[in-house]
Amino acid sequence: MKRTLVAWVEDRPGTLNRVASLFRRRAFNIESLTVGHTEQAGTSRMTIVVDGVRTDSRKVEQNLRKLIHVLRVEDVTERPAVLHDLAMIKVTTSNGTRSEVMQIAETFGGRIVDVGLETLVVEATGPDERIDRLVEVLRPFGIAEMVRTGRVAMACDEDSRSGRRRSGDG
């Protein structure tokens, strides 16, 4: 089972390097790692997805906490959380298939962000497995290129009334 860790780190040179070195040295098996800005200047936020079968996520958590410039680490796996990935998929199209690809994208809640003569670019966000399914459905048309961000996680409020336990898992 995949486990999702969120780490808040100081925005200093070398922080990513220390985290990547730790994973390499300890041979931790990381599915994805995403780093981006937060609501606070000077603080970045990493979302780390660990293959829970091959790597003990508690060890990853403990080791991350020991690193300099790591402010906080939280395992959000058991919490209700929104776990989403952004994908941009460039699909080969012709006049005969374009509208079908557009309809598929819409069905998956995606958007068309570029249209060319021979391709179009579908953007979609959602849980990993929904994006995986979208990719499988588009594959027969021909996928020229794809880019994915890796998972980002936002824990829901404990009072959350959205009625679901969690959105997205793997």
Task: Tell me which residues touch its own copies (CB under 8 A).
Answer: 6, 13-14, 16-17, 19-21, 23-24, 27, 32-39, 45, 47, 82, 84-90, 113-119, 121, 123, 125, 135, 143-150, 152-154, 156-157, 159-162, 167
Instruction: Using the minimum distance from each CB to its own copies, give the nearer residue, 14 or 103.
Output: 14
Instruction: Using the minimum distance from each CB to its own copies, give the nearer residue, 1 or 154.
Output: 154
Shortest distance, CB of residue 49 to its own copies, whole angstroms? Answer: 11
Shortest distance, CB of residue 127 to its own copies, whole angstroms? Answer: 11
Give Cα separations from 2 to 65, 130, 158 (angstroms): 20, 16, 22
Shortest distance, CB of residue 31 to its own copies, whole angstroms? Answer: 9
Shortest distance, CB of residue 134 to its own copies, whole angstroms? Answer: 12
Instruction: Using the minimum distance from each CB to its own copies, give the nearer residue, 1 or 20.
Output: 20
Shortest distance, CB of residue 108 to its own copies, whole angstroms? Answer: 13
Instruction: Using the minimum distance from each CB to its own copies, give the nearer residue, 10 or 145.
Output: 145
Please state at what angle helix 15-25 crosses helix 57-66, rounded to 10 degrees.
140
